[in-house]
Amino acid sequence: MFSGLLLALSFPRFGNPGVAWIALAPLIVAVTGQARAGASLPRLFRLGAAAGVFYFCGTLYWLANVMAIHGHLHIAVAGLLAFGLALYLSVFVGLFAVVLGVATRRRGAAAVWLAPLFWVATEWLRAWLGADFPWVLLGSSQTGVLPIVQFASLTGVYGISALVVLVSSAAAALALGTDRRTVIRAAVTAITLVTIATWGAWRLGRSPLTSSGTPVRVGLLQGNVPQEAKSDPAYRDAITDRYVSLSRDAIGAGAELVIWPEASTPFYFDIESNLAAPVRRLAAESRVPFVIGTDEFERGRNGSPDRYYNTAVLVGATGQTMANYRKIRLVPFGEYVPFKKLLFFVGPLIEAVSDFSAGTTPTIFDAGGRKFSVAICYEAVYAGMARAFVESGSQLLTTITNDAWFGRSSAAFQHFDQAALRAVEQGRYLVRAANTGFSGAVDPYGRVLAKSALFETTSLTVDVRLLTDRTLYSRIGDAVAYAGLIVSALVLIRRRRG
C-alpha cells in the first residue's frame, strides 16, 4: 500500500516526480521477502493489487466527479464505478508482483534487478490489451525533468519507466542485503542514471532540431466554453462568434494555421453549411487554413444505424473542406459505454454518453505542403499513435481536446504532461488547443514554449517548426516493452515447466 501512495504522489497536480524513483521499492522488498518465505502466488498478487488500488485511486480520483456531474450519476454510484476501474487496473500491478515473485523463487534476491522489465511488460499490457488505458504510465511522471526525459527519444515512455523502476530496484536490493555484488550493481545503477542525465543535459544544450526544418506560426484557440453550454442551442451563435473572434486575433498576430479545440462547434460543421459559413469565409478571406474540432454525422445505409464521429476537419485556404480525421481511440464512459448490458444500473450515464463510432485511419493533413497530424483528446496519451502519425509523414504533432470535463482536478495537468512527452519521443513540435486549457506548445526536447491558464478565454500564437528527422524511438518503437514481455514470458514458462 505504501508503494501505491508513493506512486500516486509521483504525478501532478499534487505530487512530485522525485517520489517516483523510490515508489516501487517498498513493494519490491515486500514481494521478494514474501516469495523467499514461500508465499503463494495469490498472496503475492494481492500485495501488488493493493498497491495498485492506492496508485489508481490517487491518480484517477477525478473520474468520480466527472461521472457524477456530466454523467448525472449519484455520487455514490460514480465513486463505485471509479473504484471499480481502479480495482481493474490494479490487476496489472498484481501481475507484476506475481512475475517478480516467480523470478525470486528461482533467482533469489537477485531477481529484483529484473523488476524494471516486469514493470514495463505489465504497463504495456495495460496500455494495449484488456484495459486499453495507458494513463499515468510511470515514465510520464518525469515529463518535467528535462535531462531525464530526453531518454524518451531513444526508448519512449517505457524506457523511462524502466529507468525509474531500476532505481527502486537498487534501493530494494540494498535494503535486502549489502553484499559486494549488490553494492556493485547499485553503483552501476547510479552511474547509469548520471550518464543518462548528463547526456540529456548535453542534448538539451545542443537542441539542433530547434534551428532546422520549416518555421510556421500557429494560432491556438481556447474558447473556455462551459460543458453544459456546448449542447444548448441558446448559446450556439455566441460560441461560434467567440471562436471566429479569437481566430481573427490569431490571424492578426500572423498565424499561418489556426486550430480550434475538440468538438468546438455547437453544430455539425460539414452538414449545417449556413452555420459553418462564417468560418469558411474567414479562411478564404485570410487565406489561412483552419483545423476545426466538430462532431460528424453519417446516415446509415441499408438499414444500418446512423454513425457519429469525433472529428477534426481541415478547412483549406479556399474555405473548402480539404480532409477530415475521425478519432480512433474513444474514451470509455465518455464516448461509449463498454459492457452496457452488465452496467444496467448506470442508466443515466449510458443516456448521457454519446455513442460514437471509431475511425480507422491515422490521417495526415496537408495544408499547402505543411503536413501535420491531429490527435483528439485521449489519443495523445498513446505513444504508438503519435509514432504511427510520424511514420505516415507528420511533420508537426497537434492535439485538440476538451478538458472541461476535468475541472481543476489533476486530470488536466496529467493530460498536458502526457501529451508533451510525445514531442520528445517523436522529435516533433507539439501544439495543443484545449477548450478550457491547458493550451500550449512544446518543442522536440519537452520544453514548454507557451501555455495558457486553465479556464481563460485566449488565443495563443506560437512559432514552431515542421521537422522530418526521426528519433531512434520513432524508428524502433516499444523495444523496451517487448523485451520486458519476452523476459516475463520466459520466467512464467520456466516456472510452468519446472
- Structure confidence at residue 350 (pLDDT): 45
Domain that holds residue 292: 213-468
Taking a C-beta distance cutoff of 8 angstroms, is the pair 423, 144 a contact? no
> Average of pLDDT values for 123-127?
95
In this structure, of 246-260, 322-336, 460-474, the range with the lowest mean pLDDT score is 322-336
89 and 139, same domain (yes or no) = yes
pLDDT band (50, 70, 90) for residue 232: confident
154, three cell numbers: 531513444
187, three cell numbers: 553503483
201 and 123, same domain (yes or no) = yes
Nearest to 367 by CA among 327, 400, 401, 394: 394
232 and 194, same domain (yes or no) = no
In this structure, of 84-98, 319-333, 349-363, the range with the lowest mean pLDDT score is 349-363
Taking a C-beta distance cutoff of 8 angstroms, is the pair 184, 204 a contact? no
Taking a C-beta distance cutoff of 8 angstroms, is the pair 420, 143 a contact? yes
366 and 229, same domain (yes or no) = yes
176 and 241, same domain (yes or no) = no
Active site residues: 262, 327, 377
171 and 271, same domain (yes or no) = no
135 and 168, same domain (yes or no) = yes
92 and 199, same domain (yes or no) = yes
Widest CA span of the chain, in angstroms?
Answer: 77
171 and 248, same domain (yes or no) = no
185 and 232, same domain (yes or no) = no
Nearest to 391 by CA among 479, 291, 476, 482: 476
498, pLDDT greater than 60:
no
385 and 295, same domain (yes or no) = yes
- Structure confidence at residue 77 (pLDDT): 83
7, three cell numbers: 506512486
> Tell me, what CATH number does 356's domain have?
3.60.110.10
For the chain, the domain total comes to: 2
161 and 277, same domain (yes or no) = no
460, pLDDT greater than 90:
yes
Beta strands in 429-471 (DSSP E): 430-434, 440-442, 448-451, 458-466
Give strand pairing partners of 292.
313
